[in-house]
Structure 1
């Protein structure tokens, strides 16, 4: 389990706890539902590339394949006074036909632009590389400047496969970069 220093996430009163990134399991469905419901409409629309009203089903899907080796959901959790609150999530699914992993990510509104998304992406990349996966890709709305900036910062490149509404980006993983 990766540990982040609280300073890497935020300097507000909300971040006076430990933040860790961990794999989700079946017991996290309710907490994920609360997390998704608590996102602003804008953030939720960016995460799902449109409006979604079935966040309970999405939360269940995020942990449904927790035992499948090529699928995982990572949760960023703020731990304060013995309680954990989800403040970010990354869903990763490997497509064996395309021979690449695909991901989606979100960070709670209060914790955006503080390095948490990048930390989550780095952890996702290490786990994917450890699984022997060589490529990760994702798609986002062309107007989602935050995700495009995060992807660029994480070393992803625009593949040119998007359309007028979306941007497709990818990154080749190095097995050497996954050593811990």
Structure 2
């Protein structure tokens, strides 16, 4: 990946070496990733599933898999981190943002396999999301994070996100990053 810490999706696929020396390839999600995404979900611990989706889930619902693997190009972006060669490729992390039609605010989510925590994978995924959202003219990126999820809250803080109490739910925090300089204009239609 280039030196810009908020690399754009145009730089994908990109090979990234993580802090423990393992390498992953970050690439755009593909329609053919449905089964691999479900398999990655099944490898998550119950705690990781709850932390990411804020609900107990045994499987990703078909509608969620369809949405994840077919992001609307005008208002969503999704990528995966994979390891292994093409025949034995395995998804070990994923990230996406989505926005309501016409909105200049996008909401993000990041999922990282349990055995890939703490080595920079979530940071790499989130940095690409930030770059992609910025390049597409979004003014603000936000995420809803469990108040107890100190890892994601810490990462968001290190990347410049503000962290505030969710007004509707004391168990949630809202992390917010302003993507555009003051006075700049959005390129959204």
Classify the TM-score, shorter chain: 0.7 to 0.9
Q: Which runs of 5+ in 2 are unaligned?
A: 1-11, 185-189
TM-score (norm 2): 0.80
**Distance change >3 Å, CA 44–CA 5, structure 1 → 2:** same
Tell me which protein shows more helix as a share of its residues: 1
- Specify which of 30, 35, 42 is matched with residue 37 of structure 1: 42
Residue 5 of structure 1 corresponds to: 16
Residue 99 of structure 1 corresponds to: 104
d(CA) in 1 for partners of 2:136, 2:151? 28
The CA deviation at 1:53 is 3.1
Q: Is the 1:9–1:111 contact (alpha carbons within 8 Å) kept by the matching residues of 2?
A: no
The CA deviation at 1:174 is 3.7
Q: Is the 1:129–1:173 contact (alpha carbons within 8 Å) kept by the matching residues of 2?
A: yes
Residue 77 of structure 2 corresponds to: 72
RMSD, aligned α-carbons = 2.1
CA offsets, 1:70-114, max 9 Å, x none? 212110111347532101011210234653010111100111000
d(CA) in 2 for partners of 1:154, 1:2? 22
**Distance change >3 Å, CA 91–CA 128, structure 1 → 2:** same
How many residues matched? 169
**Distance change >3 Å, CA 96–CA 172, structure 1 → 2:** farther
Q: Mean alpha-carbon deviation: is it higher for 48-57 or for 99-108?
A: 48-57
